[in-house]
Amino acid sequence: MNEERFASRIRQALNHGAKDIPPAAARRLEAARHIALSKQKQPVAQLSLAGSGTSTLKNGGHNAPYLKQILAILALLLGMWISFYWHSVQYITELEEVDSALLSDDLPPEAFMDNDFFEWLKDDTSEE
């Protein structure tokens, strides 16, 4: 963030001083800029072997921000999956406890055939 602020201050100072440059000098500077840009080497993408020992994070490659975003998304998805799994295990544990309590109770088999009994089981507000 410090470099961005420094670059912004330099740009402001150069823009402020650009008003004082004579028009002939400004044209020569613009021509020199175009010549310099035309001679500038264009970056060429280089192929590399996987596991060759170079990393985009170490080299400051252009893929580093995307890699960080992908890792953040993967971490978020992993956290969501763990949360879902934990809640499903808790839900199954609760069902096991209810089933065990019902099976260990001395209810006659006809109670399981009663529709009101099923409604009572579905009712979450009933007292245990």
Residue ranges per structural domain of the chain:
1-40
**Measured distance CA(128)–CA(115) in Å, rounded:** 19
**Measured distance CA(71)–CA(108) in Å, rounded:** 56
Q: How far is CA 16 from CA 9, 39, 102, in A?
A: 10, 28, 84
**pLDDT at res. 60:** 53
**pLDDT at res. 74:** 95
Parts of the chain with a pLDDT under 50: 56
The set of residues, in sequence order, having a beta carbon less than 8 Å from that of 26 and lying 6+ positions away, is 18
Q: What is the pLDDT of residues 55-88, one digit of tens each?
A: 545 555 566 778 989 999 999 999 999 999 999 9
Q: Any idea which residue has 């089933």 for tokens?
A: 99
**Measured distance CA(105)–CA(45) in Å, rounded:** 73
**Measured distance CA(72)–CA(65) in Å, rounded:** 11
**pLDDT at res. 1:** 63
**pLDDT at res. 58:** 52
**Measured distance CA(103)–CA(79) in Å, rounded:** 36
**Measured distance CA(12)–CA(54) in Å, rounded:** 38
